[in-house]
A and B are shown apart, each in its own frame.
Chain A
Amino acid sequence: MLPFLRGVCMRNVLKTVLMIEKSNKKNIAACIIIAVFVFGLISFITTEEKGNLIKERTGDYQSVSSALYKFQIEDASENGDGSDLYKNLVRQQRVISTQRMAARVDRPALYLETSLELADLRDAAFKMDGFQDVALYLPTKTENQLQRVYYQELVNEGKSVSQNPLSFYQFLGYLFGIIGAGWFIFVSIYSCGILIEEFQHTSLIKGYPISFGKYVLAKCSSAMLMVGIFILLLFICSLPLIYFNGLGDSSYPVAVYSGSIEVFTTIKFIGVSVLYMLLIALFAILLSIILNMLLKNMYLTMFVQLLLYISPYLFPGMMAFVPWNPINYLNFSRIFNGETLDLATPAALYMSQGLITIGVCIVIMLFIIKAFFTAGKLKRV
């Protein structure tokens, strides 16, 4: 075939694959699931009263109170016999009360001021003797730092602390903040049969005048196209919120861990999340293809992928030991909120590292598919 015809050919394959794909009910089922997820999340935020500052502070207050309960002190005053940590906690409790009042009487400036003060107090508490005994009742170090930069940014930018969590951008920020936990699983289940379905039609595929690698690539592209549609669907299903609750603030800060604690604007946060989602989806699809060829069974493929996904939870020590393992990053929400820093063996996993490792793995898998897989030996399963 002449070289200039190759492009035409790839387009034809893609056309073929899309024709096969367009009447696949799996796609419709997946779209419905996405829509249900978005609407379910909206109702969840409504019923849970996310963003109700008074309710959240009350929880804080109780936690600190029970931390204080750990101490047996006779004189609780500033120069009494309490330890430094005890005095720190008492101050925390007082600041939280002020914070609660500030929220109740709607004085955002005071609320921010006290929030920063609280973060400072907590920061100091981490270094004090006996902190381990009360650690359970306080946010972790990373959580506290994330809150701190968030409030600091609000002060710097002069933004209000209370935002309608159901306005468009705020909702998307929340949605992309949690979707990382399930995205890989979703794409794995979606793609676990990607080639198995083709195995039912081997006598057609084997004879195509195109290399198997290219055919797989076309399958992969069409699956990625669907993934793109899924992501788009997340936005589209959230559109009604603009009508009901307005656009919200696209530059509202979101605190993330990206190697250091910093703030992203909501829009940047969404952007990075989408980038991660695309890479993870590609990773999952290629993994499905390889596992399909090896295991020849769609469910086994799915099980292996799920086991890979949960392996960092089963063996958390592995994360610090092998930080460049792409599997660590499949739940990217966990990376963004720095959760891995607070593990028994802290692992500093950061965003760009994840993008690089997943990217490298994608290249390796593409190479494997191109180099080792041929259609000739395909058999019906």
Chain B
Amino acid sequence: MQSYFKFEFLHFFFNKKNIAVYVILLFFSCYYAMVVAPSYDPIEKVDKLEMEARYLTREDFLNSVNTERMHPSTAYAVMTYPEWNEYEKGRLDALEEHDFKKYAEATSKWYTYSDGMIYKGGDFLFYHPRYYTYGNNYAREDGHFAYLSAASRYEGYAEGDYALSIDVFEERTALQTWQRLLQSYLPFILIVSCILLSADIVLKDRRNPTLLRGFPMSPWRRLLVKGGVALFGSILAFIPLAAGLLIIGARNGFGSLDLPVPIYSHVDKSFSLISLSEFMLQNMALIILWFVLIISLLLLTSILIRNEFANLFIGFAVVIGEFTYYTRGIGFIREVQWYPTSYIQVGQVISGYRNYVYESNALTLGNGATVLSACVCIILLTVFIISNLPKFKQL
């Protein structure tokens, strides 16, 4: 078994296609680090001018407003602006003094207060204007989530003992970039790489069938070894991606694994904090589970359909499966948590954002692990049964 593993392993890494996958990942990760990451422009950034403008206009307003016979909205403003501005002032002062801890504290309060005002405030108060891009019908919801998330995050910064910096606040450090990417397209890239790496793991043997048919090993165990090699190879895909991380780290710092990451809970509609390391571990666990699922699925299609294109098409169908049923709030009506494809955006599932947009409280790490493992079990069982059929021929 061990020697067969070694044999498959060598095959895997001398496969031109697999080398190309790693090279392309390396290219993308460097491209991202050099071109995309520097132009990252978060909406919730540390923008002194913006704060000042907001603060001064409101101060002006408060100083000049005629408090007799006010319009109700004016009265509302007169009521709310003083506290709002107090936090804003706190942020500005902290920045002036380079006291990041104090800044974090004030910012957290500012976000909590702002959200409280805006979310209930009806049609005349707004979140940061950049949420309201043309065509975004859910700007309010996006803003709400982002403000609460930021409030929770800054609260974490204020309470803990971290080496704070503007880069940390704007989530530009290497580890935080990684975390942000996990919540956007990194899971897709990893899973697609996994598909590409394992699409031919079984069918490549057709090129030299007589060589392999006689190996003293049952087809089932052989398939298992192949799956193992593919899994190992997929996990190694992290290495070329890490190159980009090093570049970002050298420029913006690496950040710390203890930094807080806000996690949304749809049940009590609020955020709690976990450490970045915990967030990463949970992500890795789910991504690796995805690898296992994809690989076992491809093993199954390999012995059922025996065509590499079918493998590719089916793999990609799983990746884009969620788009066919996803709409905001659909989780309220449909039990989306039982579809494995709902967990494809791994980082967003862990951070609770998927729960938020689905309006479901069941898309959790635990449920994801259960659903995906159940799928893996069913698929592997099918593979086991098929590969043990008396008529089964692997090639």
A162 at the interface (CB under 8 A from B): no
Q: Which residues of B contact A70 (CB under 8 A)?
A: 129
Asked if B310 and A59 make an inter-chain contact with CB atoms under 8 angstroms apart, the answer reads no
Query: Which of B106-114, B130-138, B281-289 touches A?
Result: B130-138
Interface string of B115-137 (1 = CB under 8 A from A): 00000000100100111111111
CB distance from A43 to the nearest CB of B (A): 6
A300 at the interface (CB under 8 A from B): yes
Asked if A29 and B196 make an inter-chain contact with CB atoms under 8 angstroms apart, the answer reads no
Expressed in whole angstroms, the Cα–Cα distance for A342 and B327 within the complex equals: 29
Q: Which residues of A contact B313 (CB under 8 A)?
A: 29-30, 32-33, 189
B381 at the interface (CB under 8 A from A): no
Q: Which residues of B contact A193 (CB under 8 A)?
A: 308-309
User: With A299-B17, A300-B17 as given contacts, are A44 and B324 in contact (CB-CB < 8 Å)?
Assistant: yes
Question: Which positions 337-384 of chain B face chain A at CB distance < 8 Å?
Answer: none
Q: Which residues of B contact A307 (CB under 8 A)?
A: 24
Asked if A25 and B139 make an inter-chain contact with CB atoms under 8 angstroms apart, the answer reads no
A55 at the interface (CB under 8 A from B): yes
| In the complex, number of A-B residue pairs with CB atoms less than 8 Å apart | 100
Expressed in whole angstroms, the Cα–Cα distance for A380 and B317 within the complex equals: 32
Asked if A297 and B327 make an inter-chain contact with CB atoms under 8 angstroms apart, the answer reads no
Question: Which positions 48-88 of chain A face chain B at CB distance < 8 Å?
Answer: 48, 55-56, 58-60, 62-63, 65-67, 69-70, 72
Asked if A48 and B327 make an inter-chain contact with CB atoms under 8 angstroms apart, the answer reads yes
Expressed in whole angstroms, the Cα–Cα distance for A336 and B305 within the complex equals: 39
CB distance from B334 to the nearest CB of A (A): 10
CB distance from A318 to the nearest CB of B (A): 14
Q: Which residues of A contact B24 (CB under 8 A)?
A: 303, 307
CB distance from A198 to the nearest CB of B (A): 14
User: With A66-B129, A69-B129, A136-B133 as given contacts, are A29 and B16 in contact (CB-CB < 8 Å)?
Assistant: no
Question: Which positions 198-255 of chain A face chain B at CB distance < 8 Å?
Answer: 200
Asked if B317 and A33 make an inter-chain contact with CB atoms under 8 angstroms apart, the answer reads yes
Expressed in whole angstroms, the Cα–Cα distance for A299 and B193 within the complex equals: 12
- Nearest residue, chain B, Cβ from A315: B35
- Nearest residue, chain A, Cβ from B311: A29
B323 at the interface (CB under 8 A from A): yes
Consensus secondary structure, chain A interface: helix
Contact of A25 among B16, B20, B310 (CB under 8 A): B310
Asked if A59 and B136 make an inter-chain contact with CB atoms under 8 angstroms apart, the answer reads yes
User: With A25-B309, A29-B307, A63-B133 as given contacts, are A300 and B324 in contact (CB-CB < 8 Å)?
Assistant: no
Expressed in whole angstroms, the Cα–Cα distance for A200 and B207 within the complex equals: 8
A130 at the interface (CB under 8 A from B): no
Contact of A66 among B139, B200, B307, B327 (CB under 8 A): B139
Q: Which residues of B contact A32 (CB under 8 A)?
A: 313
Q: Which residues of A contact B137 (CB under 8 A)?
A: 55-56, 58-59, 62
Q: Which residues of B contact A24 (CB under 8 A)?
A: 307
Interface string of A71-107 (1 = CB under 8 A from B): 0100000000000000000000000000000000000
Question: Which positions 17-52 of chain A face chain B at CB distance < 8 Å?
Answer: 24-26, 29-30, 32-33, 36, 40, 43-44, 47-48
Tell me which of B137, B196, B305 has the highest count of chain A C-beta atoms within 10 A of its own C-beta.
B137
Contact of A69 among B20, B21, B126, B317 (CB under 8 A): B126
Asked if A30 and B133 make an inter-chain contact with CB atoms under 8 angstroms apart, the answer reads no
CB distance from B42 to the nearest CB of A (A): 15
Asked if A29 and B134 make an inter-chain contact with CB atoms under 8 angstroms apart, the answer reads no
A373 at the interface (CB under 8 A from B): no
Asked if A189 and B309 make an inter-chain contact with CB atoms under 8 angstroms apart, the answer reads yes
A139 at the interface (CB under 8 A from B): yes
Question: Which positions 316-330 of chain B face chain A at CB distance < 8 Å?
Answer: 317, 323-325, 327, 330
- Nearest residue, chain B, Cβ from A296: B16
Expressed in whole angstroms, the Cα–Cα distance for A374 and B20 within the complex equals: 27
CB distance from A60 to the nearest CB of B (A): 8
Asked if A59 and B135 make an inter-chain contact with CB atoms under 8 angstroms apart, the answer reads yes
Q: Which residues of B contact A69 (CB under 8 A)?
A: 126, 129
Expressed in whole angstroms, the Cα–Cα distance for A44 and B323 within the complex equals: 8
Interface string of A256-287 (1 = CB under 8 A from B): 00000000000000000000000000000000
- Nearest residue, chain A, Cβ from B57: A72
B312 at the interface (CB under 8 A from A): yes
A8 at the interface (CB under 8 A from B): no
A294 at the interface (CB under 8 A from B): no
Expressed in whole angstroms, the Cα–Cα distance for A200 and B308 within the complex equals: 15
Asked if A136 and B134 make an inter-chain contact with CB atoms under 8 angstroms apart, the answer reads yes
Q: Which residues of B contact A200 (CB under 8 A)?
A: 207
Asked if A63 and B134 make an inter-chain contact with CB atoms under 8 angstroms apart, the answer reads yes
- Nearest residue, chain B, Cβ from A200: B207
Expressed in whole angstroms, the Cα–Cα distance for A314 and B140 within the complex equals: 31
Asked if B310 and A26 make an inter-chain contact with CB atoms under 8 angstroms apart, the answer reads yes
CB distance from B344 to the nearest CB of A (A): 15
Asked if A300 and B20 make an inter-chain contact with CB atoms under 8 angstroms apart, the answer reads yes
Q: Which residues of A contact B324 (CB under 8 A)?
A: 40, 43-44
Asked if A47 and B327 make an inter-chain contact with CB atoms under 8 angstroms apart, the answer reads yes
- Nearest residue, chain A, Cβ from B320: A40
Expressed in whole angstroms, the Cα–Cα distance for A197 and B130 within the complex equals: 51
A190 at the interface (CB under 8 A from B): yes
User: With A25-B310, A30-B309, A43-B324 as given contacts, are A65 and B16 in contact (CB-CB < 8 Å)?
Assistant: no
Asked if A297 and B136 make an inter-chain contact with CB atoms under 8 angstroms apart, the answer reads no
CB distance from B111 to the nearest CB of A (A): 18
Expressed in whole angstroms, the Cα–Cα distance for A58 and B140 within the complex equals: 12
A355 at the interface (CB under 8 A from B): no
Q: Which residues of A contact B330 (CB under 8 A)?
A: 47
User: With A70-B129, A137-B134 as given contacts, are A47 and B307 in contact (CB-CB < 8 Å)?
Assistant: no
CB distance from A147 to the nearest CB of B (A): 12
Question: Which positions 200-243 of chain B face chain A at CB distance < 8 Å?
Answer: 200, 207
Asked if A63 and B135 make an inter-chain contact with CB atoms under 8 angstroms apart, the answer reads yes
Expressed in whole angstroms, the Cα–Cα distance for A185 and B97 within the complex equals: 54
Expressed in whole angstroms, the Cα–Cα distance for A314 and B36 within the complex equals: 10
Contact of A47 among B20, B57, B325 (CB under 8 A): B325
B31 at the interface (CB under 8 A from A): yes
Q: Which residues of A contact B123 (CB under 8 A)?
A: 65
Question: Which positions 153-190 of chain A face chain B at CB distance < 8 Å?
Answer: 189-190
A138 at the interface (CB under 8 A from B): yes
User: With A30-B313, A66-B126, A190-B309 as given contacts, are A138 and B17 in contact (CB-CB < 8 Å)?
Assistant: no
Known: A136-B130, A193-B309. 9 other contacts (CB 8 A): A29-B307, A33-B313, A59-B137, A63-B133, A63-B135, A69-B126, A136-B133, A299-B21, A314-B35
- In the A-B complex, the 10 residue pairs with the smallest Cβ-Cβ separation, listed nearest first, are A66-B132, A299-B17, A25-B307, A26-B309, A59-B137, A40-B324, A66-B129, A29-B310, A47-B327, A63-B134
29 contacts between A and B (CB under 8 A): A25-B307, A25-B310, A30-B309, A33-B313, A36-B317, A40-B323, A43-B324, A43-B325, A44-B323, A47-B327, A56-B137, A59-B135, A59-B136, A60-B134, A63-B132, A63-B133, A66-B132, A66-B139, A136-B129, A136-B130, A139-B134, A193-B308, A193-B309, A298-B17, A300-B16, A300-B17, A300-B20, A303-B24, A314-B35
Residues on B close to A: CB < 8 A? 16-17, 20-21, 24, 31, 35, 57, 123, 126, 129-137, 139-140, 196, 200, 207, 305-310, 312-314, 317, 323-325, 327, 330
